[in-house]
Amino acid sequence: MALSVVELDELHQQLDLWREQGLSIGFVPTMGGLHEGHCSLMRQAQSLCDRLVVSIFVNPTQFAPHEDLEDYPRDAQGDHNKSEAAGADLVWLAQHQDIYPPNWSTTIVPQGVGLGLETDHRPHFFTGVATVVARLLTLVRPDVAVFGEKDYQQLLVVRQLNDDLRLGAKIVGGRLIRDGDGLALSSRNVYLGPEAREQARTVPKALQLMCEAYASGERDPSTLNALGEVTLSDQGLSIDYCRIVSSTNLEAPMDLLDDSPQSWRALIAARCHGIRLLDNCALDDPPWR
Ligand code: AMP
């Protein structure tokens, strides 16, 4: 049975107890609306620790005023059950006043890997993410925390944040999980009707074509980017970015790509029927093999 905890004091009492018993703490922060992608992170985290904490908090500071904060999927009981089944020992339904107490006036503005790509389209986003992740990691103080490669830039931002502020967690990346039709699982996919869903499948198809072209010997990043962009725009998707970047620092290649496909990642953000889709893969790890 996973404990369901709302109060911060109760969370800390339980964490203190586990630490006194010498047990290591794993952590998977989420915004709820849980799906198999989240559950796979939980199973991975559980294999790396003695006690697993899952947090559920829809973080308002990473939404712009026009975005879907109010409509974000919320299902506390369903999320608890899924977390428990995936190995959580404690599900923390974090309250706004505990994350952002009344006098809270600090924000963290990531630089480096936090600049460009997402920030070009959602300027507020990583400030909100970094601030809430710093807060969550400080409150839970996990030994290990697992974040999904689905949000690849976010994973690098969190790693940098954890290093810069010496938050003390080991940050581990979890594999991106897809639906049977190739679409990356996302809490927002529930908003895609059948027509939009069909169109959304173009995103993994674009990644697939980029990977196949690389496997066939294409090494010019502009040609590969253009291939992805044409695939997306032909199907009517509105592209925020479709770009091959370095897996380690997200910089654009200066020259032709080398023969090490793990060094390069294709990242896509595109809008489909008003839903923003985010996807990526290493050049030798296409959506379909
Ligand atoms: P969210 O609830 O969307 O903020 O996501 C919580 C965590 O789940 C983040 O670390 C995400 O990167 C991760 N995540 C979301 N979707 C997937 C997916 N399809 N596969 C793996 N991890 C995911």
| Beta strands, E only, the chain | 3-5, 25-30, 51-56, 90-93, 144-148, 170-174, 238-246, 264-272, 275-282
Contact 222, 245 (CB under 8 A): no
Could you tell me the distance, in angstroms and rounded to a whole number, from the CA of residue 278 to the centre of ligand 1? 11
Q: Quick one: which of 72, 69, 77 has its CA closest to 93? A: 77
Closest residue CA from atom 11 of ligand 1 = 148
Could you tell me the distance, in angstroms and rounded to a whole number, from the CA of residue 150 to the centre of ligand 1? 6
Q: Angle CA(196)–CA(202)–CA(205) in degrees, nearest 5?
A: 150
Atom of ligand 1 nearest to the CA of 154: 12
The pick from 35, 36, 38, 158 for probing ligand 1's pocket by mutation, whose C-beta has the most ligand atoms within 8 angstroms, reads: 38
d(CA 165, CA 210): 37
Choosing from 12, 38, 80, 124, which is the catalytic residue?
38
Contact 144, 48 (CB under 8 A): yes
Residue 131: is it exposed, middle or buried by C-beta count within 10 angstroms (0-12/13-18/19+)?
buried
> Coil, strand or helix: which one is 13?
helix
- To the query of whether residue 38 is one of the catalytic residues in this protein, the response is yes
Closest residue CA from atom 12 of ligand 1 = 148
Neighbours of 50 (CB within 10 A): 14
Mean pLDDT by 10 residues, the chain (289 residues): 98 98 98 98 98 98 91 94 98 98 97 98 97 98 98 98 98 98 96 96 98 98 98 98 98 96 96 96 95
| pLDDT at residue 215, rounded to an integer | 97
Closest residue CA from atom 17 of ligand 1 = 37
Atom of ligand 1 nearest to the CA of 150: 12
| pLDDT at residue 68, rounded to an integer | 87
| pLDDT at residue 289, rounded to an integer | 85
d(CA 201, CA 198): 5
Closest residue CA from atom 19 of ligand 1 = 185
The pick from 151, 207, 281, 285 for probing ligand 1's pocket by mutation, whose C-beta has the most ligand atoms within 8 angstroms, reads: 151
Number of C-alpha atoms within 13 angstroms, CB side, residue 274? 7
Domain 3-174: assigned CATH number? 3.40.50.620
> Coil, strand or helix: which one is 239?
strand
Q: Which amino acid is at 104?
A: W
Tell me the CATH class for 187-282.
Answer: alpha beta
Domain locations in the chain as residue ranges: 3-174, 187-282
Q: What string of DSSP letters covers 88-135?
A: -SEEEE--HHHHS-TT--------GGGSSTHHHH-TTHHHHHHHHHHH
| pLDDT at residue 22, rounded to an integer | 98
Backbone phi, psi, residue 126, to 5°: -75, -25
Backbone phi, psi, residue 52, to 5°: -110, 125
Residues with CB under 6 A from ligand 1: 30-31, 37-38, 40-41, 147-148, 150-151, 174, 176-177, 184-187
Could you tell me the distance, in angstroms and rounded to a whole number, from the CA of residue 174 to the centre of ligand 1? 9
d(CA 269, CA 162): 25
